[in-house]
Amino acid sequence: MNPPFLILETGQPVASMRRHRGFPHWIRVAAGLDRDEAVVVNVEHGEPLPSREGFAGAIVTGSGAMVTDRADWSERSAAWLREAAHARLPLFGICYGHQLLAHALGGEVGNHPAGREMGTIGLELHASAGDDPLFAGLPNQFPAQATHLQTVLRAPEGATVLARSAHDACHAFRWGENAWGVQFHPEFSATHMRGYVRARQDALRNEGHCPRTIAGSVSATPFARRVLRRFVGHARALHGR
């Protein structure tokens, strides 16, 4: 039997999307993991962080929380991630998880100077992605789903920035050989993304954006999902050595 992946649950989807269940379910389905191949720990609700022993890797979900609030559960999770990264446990942080991992490893997280990024956005890979285990061979440009206000303002020392968008200079990074953060949401389907746009339509209008235009441009993002599945394959291959 394959060792399970640990999913650190750091938040819940917007209320209108909870009928589709929570982030861990979305991630498990997108990653191609069976139910018994993932163990979920709701760190936001105070569930204790387990020993990293026996896990193929760990995936950190998105959240409506802010890393800069330095909530106790978030800081405990950051300390766990720091130790896990140095122990070379494969790690994959998504959105809040991306920012939390960057913070844990000494990077800087804060409000994006240009505000919100939302919808199906265009990613551009840096040349450094060409030999990355998760990004190698993907198109130099491909779409991904995104929704965030905060960002990684400065990647951790020694990290390799792998992707950017027109809005955000650090949409993906790798630290060491086995730790990745992605600002985009590889687990989001087009349905998830449109639901988020509807939920944030008042905020988008107040910020000068057109929710209808953003929702109308939402599309499938198969290459973004492939990054998540490659992480699973990479972690399993390491465990099998």
Rg (CA), the chain: 16
| Active-site entry in 95, 103, 171, 192 | 95
Mean pLDDT by groups of 10 residues along the chain of 241 residues: 94 94 97 96 97 97 98 98 98 98 98 97 98 98 98 98 98 98 98 97 97 98 98 92 55
HSE value, Cβ hemisphere, 13 Å, CA-based, for 165: 26
In the chain, count of helices (H) and strands (E)? 7, 11
Choose the catalytic residue: 167, 187, 209, 234: 187
Active site residue 170: no
pTM (whole model) above 0.85: yes
Tell me if residue 185 is catalytic.
Answer: yes
Which residue ranges form the domains of the chain, and what is each CATH number?
A: 5-239 (3.40.50.880)
Q: Which amino acid is at 214?
A: I
Q: Quick one: pLDDT at residue 232?
A: 98
Which is the catalytic residue, given 148, 185, 192, 209?
Answer: 185
* pLDDT of the residue at 241: 55
Q: Quick one: 35 exposed, middle or buried, by C-beta within 10 A (0-12, 13-18, 19+)? A: exposed
The pLDDT value given to residue 1? 74
Say if CB 191 and CB 142 are below 8 A apart: no
